[in-house]
Amino acid sequence: MALTNQTSNLRIDMDSKDFRLSERAQLKFDADLETLRRAVACFPKAELKVELSKPSYYRVRTSLILPSRTLFTADDDRELHPAWERCVRKLLGKVQALKDVLSNKPTYSKEAEGTLHDVRPAMGPDIDELNSAIAELDYLAFRRAMSVYEEAVEQRVGRWAQRYPVVEQKLGNGLAISELVEEVFLNAFERFEHRPAALRLGDWLESLIDPSVKALIDHPDLEKENLSYIESAKEIEDSATGRRR
């Protein structure tokens, strides 16, 4: 099943396995892709494959195939459209980061220092910067503002991964803590507007660690491929600043 608007360079192939998407829903899904279409307009070709299913709740899986690599997102929800919106927002963040890497621009830098064992920053994040980054769908700006949490998240993720023998065995052998940390921040970006208002930001980030680790367990090859471009961006930044890793 193809969505209605196939006029841009973004080709879309949607497969609905367990139910039929109504024409009205197709139009709504199609409208949600306008920002993504603009984001990939610089690529000579782009193809978005979407899988929709409903084993017990709605499941959305997307693969954005670009000339340099394929970007993957996934989400589940009791309602179809929220899961779809989160997948699209996460794709936008990944496209932004990929374009930045391909342009050889430095991405984000570490600003947090210290060794706190819970998710508390060495300095508070700039909330205005965070809100602006979310409003502009700018993952890189969001990541820079959230970098004050990086050291703390890294330590929590390391301990959390010990709960999963399959993850712990792979650490240092094809899987890096930095990949798990990046997955947490990607999930934070796509869910930031829907975070509980009463929950401290650090506590909310900690609540994202478990689903982020599980995402890498469920889709290790796809998710690791998506995270590789961010690791490349770090290497570019380290090279530009002379930082040794």
pLDDT at 222 over 60: no
- CA pair distance 103, 106, nearest whole angstrom: 9
What are the pLDDT digits (tens) for 113-151? 333 345 555 567 888 899 998 888 788 888 888 888 888
Q: Cα 230–185–106 angle (5° rounding)?
A: 35
- Express as a percent the part of the chain with pLDDT over 70: 73
Say how many C-beta atoms besides its own lie within 10 A of residue 17's C-beta: 10
**pTM for the full model?**
0.54
Look at 183 and 49; give whichever has higher pLDDT: 49
Average pLDDT over residues 223-234: 50
Rounded average pLDDT over 69-90: 86
* 149-181 core/surface letters (b: 16 or more CB in 10 A; e: else): bbbbbbbbbeebbeeeeebeebeeeebeebbbb
Q: What is the pLDDT of residue 245?
A: 42
- Specify the higher pLDDT residue, 228 or 244: 228
Sequence spans of domains, the chain: 10-102, 127-241
User: What average pLDDT does the structure give for the chain?
Assistant: 76
pLDDT at 14 over 90: no
Q: Taking a C-beta distance cutoff of 8 angstroms, is the pair 189, 142 a contact?
A: yes
CA distance 81 to 186: 19
Q: What's the CATH code, domain 10-102?
A: 3.30.160.100
Q: What would the two tokens of residue 198 be?
A: 């009463």
CA–CA distance, 242 with 9 (Å, rounded to integer): 39
